[in-house]
Structure 1
Amino acid sequence: MIPRYTVAAALALVLSACGQSRDGTLEIAVMGDAAALKESGQRLSPPAQLLRSATHEGLVGFDEQGRVVPALADRWIVTDNGQSYIFRLRDGTWPDGKRITADGAALALRKTIAGLKGRALGLDLAAIDEVRVMADRVIEIDLSSPVPELLTLLAQPELALTWRGKGTGPMARGEDEDGAQIYTLIPPEQRGLPKQPDFARRARKLAVTLASPDKAVALFNDGYADVLLGGRIDTIPLAGSIGLTRGNVQLDPVIGLFGLMVDSTQGFLGAAANREALAMAIDRDAVLGRFNIGGWQPTTRVVSPDVEDDLGTIGERWQGMSSEERQAQAAARVAVWKSGGRSVPTLNIAMPGGPGSSLVFQQLQTDFARIGLSIRRVGERDRADLRLIDVAARYGRATWFLNQLSCTVQKSVCSPVGDERVAEARKSADPAARAALLAEAEAEITAANGFIPIARPLRWSMVRSGTPGFAASPWGWHPLPPMAWLPR
């Protein structure tokens, strides 16, 4: 981490660890702190997901465009109407030199899946019935019903397999004499793979600096980093003054959840109609207008209309009503609550730091004041009544959104009936029936008003023109290994 001095002093400190002093090394700044290097298990922050995916492989992985590519499995087939996935493992070795076999890989995969129980990602994988060994290097995953997104799920960093606590690459992490994190592609022959004659010429090192958002942007802006990763809504104003005017900022076409999660059901927030009043009060166009980003659209739906299994039967809420009309109706509900001698204390909203969060809070403060409510901003880890949620979807189907809002994951406000419809959909082999059940689930979960959507998330990066191995990704993060390969 860069000490908390001025930006100029910070840049002086990293001068020997960046840019000109490491010829041929790609310099990457990541918004995050050194704690990401120590994270383990299946609960990973976004920076930890990025770093884990560089040194740990699953059966499959992602390329720079977010497409599924081979990893520990070099090929696979789908049989039994989508209810069986058969993977053939590559010929290679575990970190200790032992040969990769189906027995070891299956054991590691079962352990990994079990560790996800109680999380949304665990629900995404709930249709997995069994992980079976079919032959020395062949694994079969049996499903209770088709999971079209299974390969995308298996490519997630949390589904990477470990052998005695270590990953299989494709990169190794080390430190240079200045303490910078250096990621190096492991030669294929050291992983039990055929030797590549041009490996030494094409492979380059990556120097990764974890830094606070403002310092990470400064590293890029002053030429000490070629790529900046980890940008979200809370930090995007940092890019506006420099990157947007130079074409360096790249926005990812992500979908997901960006809005307020209700974390308390005390008093006013105990009634679904009152929680709906909060949702009605938000002028979403005004929130997005504070950022002035073209193409960013507001939404009142908990499921993105862009998902493959959306029937189109559930539209945006309160269509035909202006923001003023919605706020007037919301204000009336607050007035009714207060008329009974009940007060509404100032609501605490937990948000991450950053100028983007400040812009969102300022608009929410204005909108809620118009209906007779006051709010206070607290830290993102503090106890609160409402919490700003900003999560990019892992795959493009309605189940991702609904699992995020299930009673397994969200304890304060959820819909047991909605969860039942999702469970029924999971068991259905008929795509039309499945989509209809998911639409019913969305209606039930929406009516609970436990999550108040504002817009789709934003994910942004900064990258020098012509940098190989970087591309826009629908998942909002950018694997390191492709950036370590120079073009032929």
Structure 2
Amino acid sequence: MTPRLLSSLFGPVLALLVAGCDTASDRPVEVAVIGDPGSPFVGGARLPLAAQLVRSATAEGLVGFDEQGRVIPALADRWIVTDDGLSYIFRLRDGTWPDKTPLTGDSARAALQQAIGSVRGTPLGADLAGIDEVRAMAGRVVEIRLRQPQPDFLQLLAQPELGLMRKGRGAGPMRQTREKRALLLKPIPPEDRGLPQTEDWAERSRKLRLVAMTAPRAVERFNAGEADLVLGGRLADFPRLDASGIARGAIRLDPVAGLFGLAVVNPQGFLSAPERREALAMAIDRDALGATLNIGGWIATTRIVNPGTGDDNGTVGERWPGQSLAERRTTASARVTRWVKNGKTPRLRIALPSGPGSDQLFARLAEDFKAIGLDAVQVRDSAPADLRLVDTVARYPRASWFLNQLSCANMRVLCSASADRLTGLALVESDPAKRADLLAQAEAQLTIANSYIPLGVPIRWSLVSGKATGFMPNPWNIHPLMPLAMLPK
């Protein structure tokens, strides 16, 4: 969206603020979400951040997340898991859908099957492939049967894409009203959702105004006191915080895991052979990159699966143990030299999102590649490229999440069929030790393919003012809107 359009967006918003009431409960909490202002609240199977926030707020799943990223009751007020870990039985709360039809096991089952079907063919769909059957039982009971135990299954069910809807509408916990390109969200009283009435509800609940905008505009509005909260910050825009003079106390970093590295998207010429793609991975000085980024707690890694992941059996370690950076670069440079004898020096196009953080990242990578005889040029995130940044937070702490993200079904350009096969075998393996071994073998195969060059863990930041409540950093970069709309007791 152009600056002129952004200006037209925020003018009415500010006017509403001036004209509104001054009480805490009447003044909306202003939430700026960094993202595309053009179509921020909609999406298909892969929802942008603003759409994820709205989906979670207006269409609960069987379970949801609290502000700490913990799984909490939602449409289901309680559940049990059988001893073998293969059956999850949910008791739905007493309530109705927005069209006033009862919330039943049958209707919830239909909504859940529709939600699962909508993500088929995506990494989340692969994560959910372990579901064997969804059954409606008596009254308000739903059972989900799995092919094998999944320790983090509830966390998967709490994902925004699995918010349940009937006839295109969800059951809350908030209602939305569109204000031009902003959304006004208001908490639904507990008694209207089939929950016990709360005495101080009216005094504690607040409206939220959600607007998607560019990072520079979000930081500017926060500095001016026009935004109480900024969500969705990434590495690309992190240097703007120092440049704008924002107080360190307002910056919140989420201790996330996930993928942050370069995917090979044009495996032609120099990048057509895995050993030459490995040369790029060998050349990168990840310690120097960490110093350049200057973000406390950032973890560099040469592994696809982040170190310390729940089902990591320890058989896959960091790459090139015992080799110094100089030794790695000597090997990598020799591979480049052999290629250059048969043609001209490769010029790699690296696609990165716009922003000063991306510029810093590119400068570091260009220097590293230059050290082994390669030239690099930075291109727009949407432009044709040879390498493209992958920057995705893990939905749950398991090796299978990382492998599903880089599967042939998701990457579509360069992948490892053997890694996919091993991951598929792990999906149906009931023995945890054997399953972990299969996943480790899959990671090893994907590592050998060198289709993805890991750099470290993703970077996620938010800006939180003293007027904001209900926000807490957490490992999943999950910041639901409902807690933000409630004043503390």
TM-score (norm 2): 0.94
Give the CA deviation at 1:137: 0.7
Given that residues 11 and 219 in structure 1 are in contact (C-alpha distance below 8 angstroms), is that contact kept between their aligned partners in structure 2? no
Q: Name the counterpart of 1:274.
A: 276
CA distance in 2, matches of 1:476, 1:22: 32
Instruction: Name the SS of the counterpart of 2:69 in structure 1.
Output: coil
Q: Paired residue for 1:109, among 89, 101, 112?
A: 112
Give the CA deviation at 1:338: 1.6
Q: Name the counterpart of 2:445.
A: 444
AA at the equivalent of 1:301: R
Given that residues 182 and 210 in structure 2 are in contact (C-alpha distance below 8 angstroms), is that contact kept between their aligned partners in structure 1? yes
Q: Name the counterpart of 1:401.
A: 402
Q: Paired residue for 1:91, among 90, 94, 105?
A: 94
CA distance in 1, matches of 2:232, 2:316: 32
Give the CA deviation at 1:197: 2.5
Give the CA deviation at 1:41: 3.4
Q: Paired residue for 2:63, among 57, 60, 64?
A: 60
CA distance in 1, matches of 2:138, 2:441: 42
Deviation digits for residues 143-192 of structure 1 (CA, Å, limit 9, x no counterpart): 1111111100010001111110111111111145x864211001223334
Q: Paired residue for 1:47, among 50, 64, 81?
A: 50
* Cα distance change of structure 1 residues 288 and 5 upon mapping to structure 2, 3 Å threshold: farther
* Cα distance change of structure 1 residues 280 and 20 upon mapping to structure 2, 3 Å threshold: farther
Q: Paired residue for 1:145, among 127, 144, 148?
A: 148
CA distance in 1, matches of 2:79, 2:424: 27
CA distance in 1, matches of 2:409, 2:293: 34
Q: Name the counterpart of 1:231.
A: 233
- Segments of 4+ in structure 1 off by > 6 A? 9-13
Give the CA deviation at 1:18: 4.6
Given that residues 17 and 180 in structure 1 are in contact (C-alpha distance below 8 angstroms), is that contact kept between their aligned partners in structure 2? no
AA at the equivalent of 2:476: W
CA distance in 2, matches of 1:243, 1:461: 15
CA RMSD for the aligned pairs?
Answer: 2.2
Instruction: Name the SS of the counterpart of 1:247 in structure 2.
Output: helix
Deviation digits for residues 214-253 of structure 1 (CA, Å, limit 9, x no counterpart): 1101111111112111101111111123566441101001
Q: Name the counterpart of 2:138.
A: 135
CA distance in 1, matches of 2:2, 2:343: 50
Instruction: Name the SS of the counterpart of 2:252 in structure 1.
Output: strand
Given that residues 19 and 224 in structure 1 are in contact (C-alpha distance below 8 angstroms), is that contact kept between their aligned partners in structure 2? no
- In terms of mean alpha carbon deviation, does 257-266 or 244-253 score higher? 244-253
CA distance in 1, matches of 2:419, 2:305: 13
Q: Name the counterpart of 1:219.
A: 221
CA distance in 2, matches of 1:126, 1:80: 21
Asked if residue 165 in structure 1 is aligned to residue 168 in structure 2, the reply is yes
1:371-386 → structure 2 map (5 Å cutoff): 371-386=372-387
Asked if residue 346 in structure 1 is aligned to residue 354 in structure 2, the reply is no
Give the CA deviation at 1:6: 10
Q: Name the counterpart of 2:267.
A: 265
Given that residues 418 and 441 in structure 1 are in contact (C-alpha distance below 8 angstroms), is that contact kept between their aligned partners in structure 2? yes
TM-score (norm 1): 0.94
Give the CA deviation at 1:453: 0.4
* Cα distance change of structure 1 residues 20 and 286 upon mapping to structure 2, 3 Å threshold: farther
Give the CA deviation at 1:443: 0.8
1:356-371 → structure 2 map (5 Å cutoff): 356-371=357-372
CA distance in 1, matches of 2:254, 2:121: 29
**Percentage of pairs with the same residue:** 52
Deviation digits for residues 27-66 of structure 1 (CA, Å, limit 9, x no counterpart): 2111123344441432211222122211111111000000
CA distance in 1, matches of 2:21, 2:372: 57
Asked if residue 337 in structure 1 is aligned to residue 339 in structure 2, the reply is yes
Give the CA deviation at 1:468: 2.2
AA at the equivalent of 1:352: P
CA distance in 2, matches of 1:361, 1:17: 42
Q: Name the counterpart of 2:415.
A: 414
Given that residues 248 and 462 in structure 1 are in contact (C-alpha distance below 8 angstroms), is that contact kept between their aligned partners in structure 2? yes
CA distance in 2, matches of 1:228, 1:75: 33
Q: Name the counterpart of 2:356.
A: 355
Q: Name the counterpart of 1:100.
A: 103
Q: Which runs of 5+ in 2 are unaligned?
A: none
AA at the equivalent of 1:261: A
CA distance in 2, matches of 1:37, 1:10: 13
Given that residues 19 and 225 in structure 1 are in contact (C-alpha distance below 8 angstroms), is that contact kept between their aligned partners in structure 2? no
Give the CA deviation at 1:469: 0.7
AA at the equivalent of 1:108: A
Q: Which runs of 5+ in 1 are unaligned?
A: none
Give the CA deviation at 1:194: 3.8
CA distance in 2, matches of 1:306, 1:138: 36
CA distance in 1, matches of 2:127, 2:120: 10
Given that residues 243 and 249 in structure 1 are in contact (C-alpha distance below 8 angstroms), is that contact kept between their aligned partners in structure 2? no
Q: Name the counterpart of 1:209.
A: 211
Given that residues 54 and 169 in structure 1 are in contact (C-alpha distance below 8 angstroms), is that contact kept between their aligned partners in structure 2? yes
Q: Name the counterpart of 2:15.
A: 16
* Cα distance change of structure 1 residues 280 and 388 upon mapping to structure 2, 3 Å threshold: same
Q: Name the counterpart of 1:387.
A: 388
* Cα distance change of structure 1 residues 244 and 180 upon mapping to structure 2, 3 Å threshold: closer
Q: Paired residue for 1:299, among 294, 298, 301?
A: 301
Given that residues 229 and 464 in structure 2 are in contact (C-alpha distance below 8 angstroms), is that contact kept between their aligned partners in structure 1? yes
Instruction: Name the SS of the counterpart of 1:462 in structure 2.
Output: strand
* Cα distance change of structure 1 residues 2 and 408 upon mapping to structure 2, 3 Å threshold: closer
* Cα distance change of structure 1 residues 27 and 138 upon mapping to structure 2, 3 Å threshold: same
Number of equivalent positions: 485
